Amino acid sequence: MLNYQETRLVKDTIPALQQHGEHIATVFYKTMLRDHPELHNYFNTVNMHTGKQPHALTQLILAFASNIVNISELVPKLERVAQKHASLNIQPDHYEIVGKYLLRAFSAVLGPAMTPDVKMAWTKAYWVMAKMLTGREAHLYRAFEAWKGWRKFMIYRKTNETVGGNIVSFTLKPVDGKPLPTFLPGQYITLRITVPGMKFVQLRQYSLSDAPSHAHYRITVKRDQGTNPDYGRGDDAMTVSSAASSASDSSIGSIQPYKVGVVSNSLIDEFHEGDTIELTHPAGSFSLNTDMDNNSMPLVLISAGVCVAPLLSMLNTVVERRITRPVSWIQASRHDAPFQAHVEKMARNHPNMRTKFFKSRLSDSDVLSYTSSFDNDFLSLTAEDLYLAHSSAEYYICGPEKFMLQAASHLRRSGVKPERVQFEIFSVGSFEMRPDY
């Protein structure tokens, strides 16, 4: 651990990190990838070009420096990072590489401010964080048991979930025919495919969109039509993704060509039933714990667009296991609502389930302008829709950033305590829910 003087030295770098943090992160990724191009095989190409990953890394470093004397405050964020690292099969050796190039970037950008004492303090601080992550990741790997690394799956079924065919579900069966491990509803897998014209393999994380099964998994993918880079999951971890400040930055020498929606469009257009892909073991901290179910606790599931996937896994699990707790399903979409017929059919057969569907531009993309129609639709929800009279109600929200912020704001104004609300963060580096929302 760090002594008092070392913690002070780390905290004293916060102003410089606030000013130069994203430059440090960009230098870090550039030099590390230049010397270790094989690490591109762990990275999300989209996040290299959008500039989100330097921001995410900067925020993680700043959070760690700010809480260096109260590390427990970082546990939820580090848990998300550890889960993502485990889903990508990140190993302790990777931390050696990251530490080397991160500290080198600190020195390159901060210059004389990076004195030997400051460098030593940050070296120790980095390894405190690294050991927290590797320890948690080792625990996750042990829980994965026999499934280590990548496993081949066959696309057993492709199903269009909307009229236009822009949201497609893939039912996946293991090629080895062995039973699949269960998972917590809400978790995700990492998918790896080879895309023609791309030098490195492409990785994306997709939430599982059905109840756990030992025979198959299902993911649901939205075609990216240019408004949102690969509308899947993000990667807000140090060693998960690389990034640059912009796609035109001539200083970024080894980044592969940028293609909008390269994975989502390839999956929908070029992968067919019978084809194979590779997955890692399910992971993720956003999940419904069905082992501790209390049938008197209402469950409120709020989603938008394709972000319905992890909440549908929760809903299907509740229905399949005949859990009798009250459920309120609230779903926004810009056009067709995926799985609406399926959800409405379940609601007809379960009197303790209520549904609400409405249109919202915010369900489609983080970058669309705010529109009052969302507020009006959400305000139309009754106290009964949200189970506001029940102090034990649990809320799970998944959608684009603005959607989640508006939903959270409405719940806060309605008196819902933050500890009863969970959020799934699909985007990288752009949304960090505060304790007070």
Catalytic residue chosen out of the listed positions 42, 95, 217, 231: 95
Cα(8)–Cα(68) distance, integer angstroms: 9
Strand 188-193 relative to strand 421-424, pairing: unpaired
Q: Which two tokens stand for residue 396?
A: 């799970």
CA distance 292 to 311: 18
How many angstroms separate the most distant Cα atoms in the chain? 69
95 is catalytic: yes
How far is Cα of residue 148 from the mean position of the Cα atoms in its chain?
A: 21
Q: What is the residue-wise DSSP string for 5-70? A: HHHHHHHHTHHHHHHHHHHHHHHHHHHHHHH-GGGGGGS-HHHHHHSHHHHHHHHHHHHHHHTTT-
Token pair recorded at residue 269: 């257009």
**Beta strands at 327-333 and 394-398: parallel, antiparallel or unpaired:** unpaired
CB atoms under 10 Å from CB of 193, counted, come to 19
Number of Cβ within 10 Å of residue 422's Cβ equals 17
Which one is catalytic: 6, 22, 137, 278?
137
Structure token pair of residue 164 = 């236009």
Length of the chain in terms of residues written: 437
- List active site positions: 95, 137
